[in-house]
Amino acid sequence: MNQQQSSKSVRALPMPWVEKIFEKLSMTYGREFLARWDGFKEEAMLEVKQDWGIELGGFFDQPDAISHALAHLPAKAPNVIEFRQLCRSAPKPQFKQLPRPAQDPQKVAEVMGVVKSKLTKLPALDPKDWARKLKARHEKGEKLAPHQITAYRQALGFEGRQSWQ
C-alpha cells in the first residue's frame, strides 16, 4: 500500500452485500465458483469476503453497477478482479433534464427594465483611481513603500520623470 492509499480511508462494501454477491455467484456457477476455496476454514472465508468487499468498495455508492454485473455474468465464474471489471462496464446512469421553467414575457421585461435602470445610474469608475489616491497620499507627505510609488507613477505615466524636470 503506498502513502496515498494509506492516508485515505478504504471504504468496503457492507458484508451483507458481499454475501448476496457470493450467493448469486454460487447459485449461478455452483461448484466452479465454490471450489476455489475448498478446504478454507470459516475465518479464511471471512477474509476472502472482506477482500471482495474492499476490492468492490469503489461501488459502494453505485449499487446499480453491482446489479448490472450480476445480471450480465460471463459463462465462466469470475474472480474478484473480473467481477470488478463487470461492475465498471455498467452503463452510466441517465438523468432526465428538467423542463425549462415557463417565463412570463411581461415579468421578464419588468425585471430587465429595473436592472438596466440601476446599471445606468452607476457612477463611472476610474480604473486608475487607486493610483491617484496613492499619489495624493504621497504628496501629502505620507511615507509609501518604493514599490507603491513606482506602481502609481507607472500607472499615471510619470515613471522616469521627476517633479523638478
Outline where the chain has alpha helix (H): 3-7, 15-29, 31-34, 42-55, 63-71, 80-88, 105-120, 129-139, 146-156
Model confidence, pTM: 0.54
How many CB atoms within 10 Å of residue 45? 12
| Res. 47: pLDDT tops 80 | yes
Answer whether residue 5 shows pLDDT above 60.
no
Residues 128-160 pLDDT 10s: 999 999 999 999 999 999 999 988 888 888 876
| CA proximity to 61, closest of 29, 103, 107, 13 | 13
Domains of the chain, by residue range, sit at 9-88, 126-165
The per-residue pLDDT for range 7-46, each reduced to its tens digit, is 345 689 999 999 999 999 999 999 999 899 888 899 999 9
